[in-house]
Amino acid sequence: MYLANYTRPDIAFANNLLERFSSHCIQRHWNKIKHVFRYLWETTNLSLFYSRGSKQEIIGYVDACYLLDPHKASSQIGYVSTCEGTTISWRLQKHTLIATSSNHAECITLYEASWECVWLRSVTQHVQATCRLLVDRDQTVLFEDNDAWVAQMKEGCIKSDRTKHISPKFFSFSQQLEKDKKINFQYIRSSDNVADLFTKALPTTTFRKLIHDIRMRHLWDLWRRTIYTNLRESLRGCTLFRLLWFCPTWFFS
């Protein structure tokens, strides 16, 4: 649980799903737990990579899975915040409220993600002001893969037969942040939304793509790249450099 909450967001969804059966675990659940342990054993050198960037820009991604638990009519929420492309904060849980549609589920999720975004902005601006740095007051972008909901946030709450039952607080708070130019809601394709890692089980190729997008890297790859860069700089202009450039393709690929 410590790894899922602090250092390994790639196992957060599996951990969140399995801990629901901790009080009545059966053999099928034990097999899934062993599968997670095997994955951790094979990826012991996989971790979040933080680069030295000049602009600490915070970007958020939001997603919801409608009726992930059909027996209890519960949906799954998930949102993640990145700084310089690397994940710094993430959260996932079942909805405490029963959503009646995918739009309703997305609305509740983005409401909670907006609170997280406001907190991250205040912490970042406080640190910058304390260290006498230039305070970044630009809008924080929140990406959402529900185009209809993004349009509702930008154009105003549209009360129709399908949305009139949704509490106004879920619309008004997010819309006020949009008007104050603190948050900018934008649409993103579902295949590029890294918050999908925290709301649903994904195919292997999609899973690997998204954990790469949140900048999780293998230490071996970073070490190999460092050696390659150092060799190229130290042997630049030398005749041996040309040999190292073409010959060891198996080492630098």
pLDDT at 118: 92
* Boundaries of every domain in the chain: 1-48, 49-214, 218-252
Task: For 18-43, write each residue's pLDDT tens digit.
Answer: 888 888 888 988 999 999 999 999 99
As a dihedral over the C-alpha atoms of residue 155, residue 156, residue 160, residue 162, rounded to 10 degrees, the angle is 90
Q: Identify the residue with better confidence: 145 or 172.
A: 145
Task: For 75-93, write each residue's pLDDT tens digit.
Answer: 888 999 998 888 999 999 8
- CB of 66 within 8 A of CB of 78? no
Q: Identify the residue with better confidence: 115 or 250.
A: 115
Residue 201: is its pLDDT beyond 70? yes
Residue 176: is its pLDDT beyond 50? yes
Query: Which whole-number Å values give the CA distances from 92 to 13, 62, 109, 133, 249, in the listed order?
Result: 7, 10, 10, 33, 42
The matching CATH number, chosen from 3.30.420.10, 3.20.20.450, 3.40.50.300, 1.10.357.10, for 49-214 is 3.30.420.10
247 SS3 class: coil
